[in-house]
Amino acid sequence: MNVNKLIDHTLLKAFATESEIEKLCNEAVEYNFKSVCVNPTHVKLAKKLLIGSDVLVCTVIGFPLGANTKEIKALETVDAVKNGADEIDMVINIGKAKEHQYDYIEDEIRLVVSSSVGRVVKVIIETCYLTDDEKKEVCKAALRAGASFVKTSTGFGTGGATVEDVKLMRETVGETMGVKASGGIHSYEEVEKLVEAGATRIGASSGIKIMEGSKENA
């Protein structure tokens, strides 16, 4: 398993500095991670730092609460693409999901997908706040709206990725979409279990620790 190319090397702290973003990008190049995942304000810098590498720039939209209007999420996406984002991780309106307004969820995802102009769009459903039935319905909405991935968590909620949620999401979307596990993933052993459950991408701030674990298990 080429675990490095599963990892979105992530730094989304509110107080992240440019020097920390530079360190993140240098690490991503050294380990040849799939992408760096940064807040929108750092997209332009990350893109510049990663010139000449095949590491992608991923950013977050409506993050971390998902409570922006869908029109603002679309504008954020347009701006992120203009600044060089290769992938978009958007947070759904979780309150609308709790109200079972799945048409609204589908509409906002479709708007972000359209605004991304062909970029990979991952839909963060924030599993810790949803029932299993709600998780399934949101995954179906993401599938109908043309998203590329469904993703477990922001890492800022009350819980992160679980094997059970990844299995449920994979069973719901089948093989037509990616499933990104994110939130509280710190070890290679956890990654192995999540991939076995159906994850095809891993979001983690512990990418280097995971890589060290992969060498130990080689």
| DSSP letters spanning 123-164 | EE--GGGS-HHHHHHHHHHHHHTT-SEEE---SSSS----HH
Percent of the chain with pLDDT over 70: 100
Can you give the residue range of the structural domain that contains 88?
3-216
User: Tell me, what's the pLDDT at 218?
Assistant: 66
Write down the catalytic residue from 47, 70, 73, 89. 89
User: Tell me, what's the pLDDT at 12?
Assistant: 98
34 classed as catalytic: no
89 classed as catalytic: yes
In whole angstroms, give the CA distance from residue 165 to residue 175. Answer: 16
User: Tell me, what's the pLDDT at 216?
Assistant: 79
Which domain CATH number covers 81? 3.20.20.70
Say which residue the tokens 């990892």 belong to: 7
47 classed as catalytic: no
Q: Cite the DSSP H helix spans in the chain.
A: 18-31, 43-49, 70-82, 94-98, 102-115, 132-144, 163-173, 188-197, 207-216
Write down the catalytic residue from 8, 96, 151, 165. 151
Residue ranges of the chain with pLDDT lower than 50? none
Report pTM: 0.97
- Tally of structural domains, the chain: 1
